Amino acid sequence: MQPRRKTRQVKVGNVLVGGDAPISVQSMTTTKTADVEGTLEQIYALAAAGCDIVRCTCNEEEAAEGLAQIVPRSPVPIVADIHFQYRLALAAIEAGVQALRLNPGNIRKPEQIKAVAAEARDRGLPIRIGVNAGSLDPEIERRHGGATPEALVESATRELAYFADVDFDDVKISVKASSVPLMIDAYRLLSETVDHPLHLGVTEAGPPPAGLVKSTAGIGTLLAEGIGDTIRYSLTADPVEEARAGRTLLESMGLRERKGLDLIACPSCGRAEVDVIKVANDAQAALEDRNIPLQVAVMGCVVNGPGEAKGADLGIAAGRGKGHLFVRGHVVRVVPEVEMVAALVEEAERIVEEGIEARIAAADADAERIAAETREELLQIQGTDANHDAEKIEKIREIAES
């Protein structure tokens, strides 16, 4: 991981973006903004899934009127998404939104762009310049021979120049594309060109799982290079999936403190004593809505499971019709196989309440002994470790000492 690029900082409501602020997660509602109650329901679901900022479309007068009712009741800052009609940007500002997103490819008249920027300046409101490879100004696209990284960056910098004419620079920028290589190259170039905070995303990534893969490839690559201040997965799916994916990516890269469940599981093999996929899915379903900030492991056998997942806060490994529940690698309970998921949930809640060390100290007296006996029994049946570690080590010693 490269050090994070230094950027200016903007404030979207109570969320700081850029500078040394944590990288934030964004998503966008799919409801009609005029449907106030339906939109608020989705906003609350997004916030619960870890979304820091939510964008709502403002494509008609009724949407602007809806925003006036939504913003005061929203648990997170609201960004108004504006296309074509600059007056709707002014209306959204009046409705009380905390930021705007403007696409320079479809609001191209300088006087209109400057009018919105001047009003945002006077209200202390940031604007995201949202460049999109699919909707570039035709003149810029023609001059560059297509939607190239240079074309996307020029679109952004030209918008910045219009803003500068009215002394407005409270700006964050995105240069999105559905092509992952184009998106990566455009953001790299942009990061060398400006010091504004950058909003990362692969636009029109599509439905999961392909959309998740493309978004993670683009966003994750740039974050590893220290580029990016706020992110959005653009999936053809329930937007809650976008928020969860964004939060999971940041947590897995160590860029945000874990807020929810991180479930890991072995890929299964011939040693597995249970249907690992089913147990993992059942555990995920039982735990993820509890917002328990633990790493939980589901392992298919007790031969290697507790050792391989000893870094997990909590885990379960199957063996001979039983589940071996372990905390940081220490087996604390042995339960019937049918109770594995229930035991995980119960122990997770106890860890949150009592702490890791307390739960290790409260281990059943004979849990480790039973686990060791079961492991030895399975080794006799299945053979030694599949990697033949002992045999390899002995040969290494013979070679080294010869």
Give the integer Cα–Cα distance in Å for 231 and 198. Answer: 8
Give the integer Cα–Cα distance in Å for 246 and 242. Answer: 6
Give the integer Cα–Cα distance in Å for 341 and 211. Answer: 30
Q: Which helix (H) or strand (E) holds 326?
A: strand 322-327
Give the integer Cα–Cα distance in Å for 306 and 327. Answer: 9
Give the integer Cα–Cα distance in Å for 76 and 56. Answer: 12
Superfamily name with CATH number, domain 262-382 = Sulfite Reductase Hemoprotein, domain 1 (3.30.413.10)
Superfamily name with CATH number, domain 9-252 = Dihydropteroate synthase-like (3.20.20.20)
- Would you give per-residue pLDDT tens digits along the chain (402 residues)? 999 999 999 999 999 999 999 999 999 999 999 999 999 999 999 999 999 999 999 999 999 999 999 999 999 999 999 999 999 999 999 999 999 999 999 999 999 999 999 999 999 999 999 999 999 999 999 999 999 999 999 999 999 999 999 999 999 999 999 999 999 999 999 999 999 999 999 999 999 999 999 999 999 999 999 999 999 999 999 999 999 999 999 999 999 988 788 898 888 776 677 888 899 999 999 998 787 889 999 988 777 677 778 889 999 988 778 889 999 989 999 999 899 999 999 999 999 999 999 999 999 988 888 878 877 777 776 655 544 556 667 777 777 776
- Measure Cα distances from 372 to 76, 256, 357, 360 in Å: 50, 37, 21, 17
pTM, 2 dp: 0.85
Structure tokens at 372: 């060791």
How is the chain split into domains, by residue range?
9-252, 262-382
Q: Whose CA is closest to 227, among 192, 258, 257?
A: 192
